[in-house]
Amino acid sequence: MDTEALRTFVAIARMGGFSGAADQLGRSQPAISRRIALLEGELRMPVFERLPGGVELSQAGQTLLPHAERVLAALEDASAAMRALQAGDGGPVSVAVVGTLAGADLAQALKQFAERFPKVALTLRTATSAQVSDLVRRGEATFGLRYFEDVSPDLENRACAPEALVVVCAPEHPLAGEKVASLRDLKDEPWLGFPPPEGRDERWSGMLLAQFLTRGVAEIPFTAVDSLTAQKRLVEAGFGLALMPVSAVAEERAAASLAAITVADLAVSNPVSLITRKAGYVSPAALALIEALAA
């Protein structure tokens, strides 16, 4: 079972078909098919179920996939270690982060890192918490920042400062900049937020409804909006209130396009975890950035 066979297998699994994998790997589709045929011959069982609209992983393929991804991630670790040794400056660093965490604090930390390690190729990509974990697990990200810990046995978690949440409203709202005694005082206000947790990868998406439930309020006027940016624009326009991460609305509050309502009995935050792969290679440069972010 060679690494190219595993790389081909993983590419097909991710792309959902042979043609997409061929494009991604820069190979012909017949070459891709031959590679998989050899793999299946070696395993003596099919790794894909051929369907009219593409392929699906067989039972054997589902079993093989996480092992194949770990093998390829380990190879990337080895390559990264060699590149770091040759470069002498720590090697490339790839960071995966939940979009709402990519605020001013992270930007400042990345800026300082780039000034300290000018030769390091730093890349950043945003994703949901679950996707951040997958990117780190597959070796496509050196480390990730996500909400809540990932208890998977192949990942390590390091707690970072939690992300505080704040109730925001339009600047013209009667309660803008004011303080109320309880969240119950806002139960009749129209609210905007992410769909309930079963429709999203972020566990904190149900935080608002949970907070009302703990105060004996079962229902509120609520509109689900599956975009943080859209939520902010709608709140600015006066269509409702929202519970948002402090860092995600810092610029709007500074520009006075959004205002906050202080709620005396509301002090909630999202746990933030920095994740790496267990036993995965972390370059000196990446370790320096991890220490800065964890601090």
**pLDDT at residue 205 in the model:** 60
Comparison of pLDDT for 145 and 295, the residue scoring more: 145
Same fold, 3-70 and 164-268: no
Cα(20)–Cα(96) distance, rounded to whole angstroms?
Answer: 24
| Close Cβ partners of 47 (under 8 Å, ≥ 6 residues apart) | 9, 36, 39, 40, 57, 58, 60, 61, 64
Compute the distance between CA of residue 130 and CA of residue 234 in angstroms, rounded to an integer: 27
User: What topology does CATH give the domain 164-268?
Assistant: D-Maltodextrin-Binding Protein; domain 2 (3.40.190)
Residue type, 215: R
CB 277 within 8 A of CB 155: yes
Percent of the chain residues past pLDDT 90, beyond the cut: 40
Residue 138 CB neighbour total at 10 angstroms:
18
Alpha helices in the chain (DSSP H): 3-15, 18-25, 29-43, 59-87, 104-116, 129-137, 207-214, 228-236, 250-254, 284-294
What radius of gyration, in Å, describes the C-alpha atoms of the chain?
Answer: 23
In this structure, are residues 169 and 176 in contact, taking their beta carbons and an 8 Å threshold? Answer: yes
Residue 58 in tokens: 């067989």
Q: Can you list the alpha helix ranges (DSSP code H) found in 96-249? A: 104-116, 129-137, 207-214, 228-236
> pLDDT confidence of 85, banded at 50, 70, 90?
low
Task: Look up residue 226 and give its amino acid.
Answer: D
Q: Name residue, tokens 């519970």.
A: 243
pTM recorded for the entire structure? 0.65
Query: Each residue of 185-234: pLDDT tens digit?
Result: 999 999 999 887 554 556 556 788 889 999 999 999 999 998 889 999 99
Angle, vertex CA 92, rays to CA 75 and CA 84, nearest 5: 70
CB 142 within 8 A of CB 282: yes
Residue ranges per structural domain of the chain = 3-70, 89-161+272-294, 164-268
pLDDT tens, position by position, 14-54:
888 888 888 888 889 888 888 888 888 888 999 988 888 77
Q: Kindly tell me the sign of the dihedral angle through the C-alpha atoms of 138, 141, 147, 153.
A: positive
Fold of 3-70: Arc Repressor Mutant, subunit A (1.10.10)
pLDDT, position 131 = 92
Q: Summarize the confidence of residues 163-179 as an average pLDDT.
A: 96
Strand 241-245 and strand 222-224: the pairing is unpaired
- pLDDT score at 276: 94
CATH 3.40.190.10 fits 89-161+272-294, yes or no: yes
Q: What is the DSSP string of 55-74?
A: EEE-HHHHHHHHHHHHHHHH
Task: Please tell me the least confidently modeled range out of 17-21, 131-135, 167-171.
Answer: 17-21
